[in-house]
Structure 1
Amino acid sequence: MAADETAGLVVIGGSHAGHQVAIAARGAGFEGPITVLSDERELPYQRPPLSKAYLMGKQPREALLFRPAGFYEDQGIDMRLGVAATTIDRAGHTVTCDNGTVLPYRKLVIATGTRVRPLTVPGAELGGVHYIRTLSDIDAIMAELDRVKSVVVIGGGFIGLEGAAALKTMGRDVAVVELADRLMARGVGKTVSGYFADHHREQGIDLRLSTGVESLAGENGHVTGVVLGGGEVLAADLVIVGIGVLPNQEIAAEAGIDCANGIIVDQFTQTNDPDILAVGDCAQFEGRFYDGPLRLESVQNATDQARTAGATVAGEKKPYDAAPWFWSDQFDLKLQMTGITAGYDKEIIRGDVAAGEFSVFYFKGDKWLGTDTVNQPSNHIASRRLLDAGYALTQAEAGDEGLALKELVKAARKAG
Structure 2
Amino acid sequence: MSEPRTVAVVGAGLAGAKTVEALRAEGFDGRIVLFGEESHRPYERPPLSKGYLQGNDELETVFVHPEGWYAEHDVDLRLGVPVTGLDRHARELMTRDGDAVHYDRLVLATGATPRRLRLPGGDLPGVRYLRSVDDSDALRAAFRPGANVVVVGAGWIGLETAAAARGAGATVTVLESAELPLLRVLGPRMAQVFAGLHRENGVDLRFGVGVAAIHGDGSAVTGVELDDGSVIEADTVVVGVGVTPNVDLAQMAGLDVDNGVLVNASLRTSDPHVFAVGDIANAEHPVLGRRIRVEHWANALHQPEVVAKSVLGREAVYDRLPYFFTDQYDLGMEYVGYASADDDVEVRGDLDGREFVALWTREGKVVAGMNVNVWDVTDRIRDLILAGQPADAFELPAPSA
**TM-score, shorter chain, exceeding 0.5:** yes
Contact 2:384 2:390 in 1 (8 A): no
Displacement of 1:290 in angstroms is 3.6
User: Mind listing any 5+ residue stretches in structure 2 that lack a counterpart?
Assistant: none
2:137 maps to 1:139? yes
For 1:191 and 1:225, locate their aligned partners in 2 and report how far apart those are by CA, in whole Å: 32
Partner residue of 2:391?
395
Aligned residue for 1:189, secondary structure, equals helix
String of CA shifts for 1:333-363, please: whole Å, max 9, x gaps. Answer: 0121111111543111100011110111001
CA pair 394-231 structure 1, distance change in 2 beyond 3 A: same
Contact 2:146 2:169 in 1 (8 A): no
Aligned residue for 2:392, secondary structure, equals helix
Displacement of 1:218 in angstroms is 1.2
For 2:200 and 2:297, locate their aligned partners in 1 and report how far apart those are by CA, in whole Å: 30
Partner residue of 2:328?
330
Contact 2:149 2:238 in 1 (8 A): yes
Aligned residue for 2:282, secondary structure, equals strand
Aligned residue for 1:95, secondary structure, equals strand
Displacement of 1:19 in angstroms is 0.8
Displacement of 1:140 in angstroms is 2.3
For 1:71 and 1:148, locate their aligned partners in 2 and report how far apart those are by CA, in whole Å: 42
2:226 maps to 1:228? yes
Instruction: Kindly tell me the number of residue pairs found equivalent between the two proteins.
Output: 398
Partner residue of 2:206?
208
For 1:248 and 1:13, locate their aligned partners in 2 and report how far apart those are by CA, in whole Å: 10
For 1:170 and 1:143, locate their aligned partners in 2 and report how far apart those are by CA, in whole Å: 10
For 2:67 and 2:219, locate their aligned partners in 1 and report how far apart those are by CA, in whole Å: 40
For 1:6 and 1:337, locate their aligned partners in 2 and report how far apart those are by CA, in whole Å: 37
User: Mind listing any 5+ residue stretches in structure 1 that lack a counterpart?
Assistant: 405-416
Displacement of 1:149 in angstroms is 1.2
Aligned residue for 1:378, secondary structure, equals coil
2:29 maps to 1:31? yes
Displacement of 1:146 in angstroms is 5.5
Taking the TM superposition and a 5 Å limit, the aligned residue runs for 1:116-135 are 116-135=114-133
AA aligned to 2:251 is A
Contact 1:344 1:364 in 2 (8 A): no
Displacement of 1:193 in angstroms is 0.8
For 1:25 and 1:339, locate their aligned partners in 2 and report how far apart those are by CA, in whole Å: 28
Partner residue of 1:9?
7
For 2:27 and 2:120, locate their aligned partners in 1 and report how far apart those are by CA, in whole Å: 53
> How high is the TM-score relative to the length of structure 1?
0.92
AA aligned to 1:15 is G
2:179 maps to 1:181? yes
Q: Percent identity?
A: 37
String of CA shifts for 1:128-179, please: whole Å, max 9, x gaps. Answer: 0000111111122234446961100000000110000011011000010011
AA aligned to 1:111 is A
Partner residue of 1:44?
42
Contact 1:181 1:210 in 2 (8 A): yes
String of CA shifts for 1:71-117, please: whole Å, max 9, x gaps. Answer: 11111111111001111111111101111111110100000000000
Displacement of 1:194 in angstroms is 0.2
For 1:384 and 1:249, locate their aligned partners in 2 and report how far apart those are by CA, in whole Å: 31
For 1:246 and 1:127, locate their aligned partners in 2 and report how far apart those are by CA, in whole Å: 22
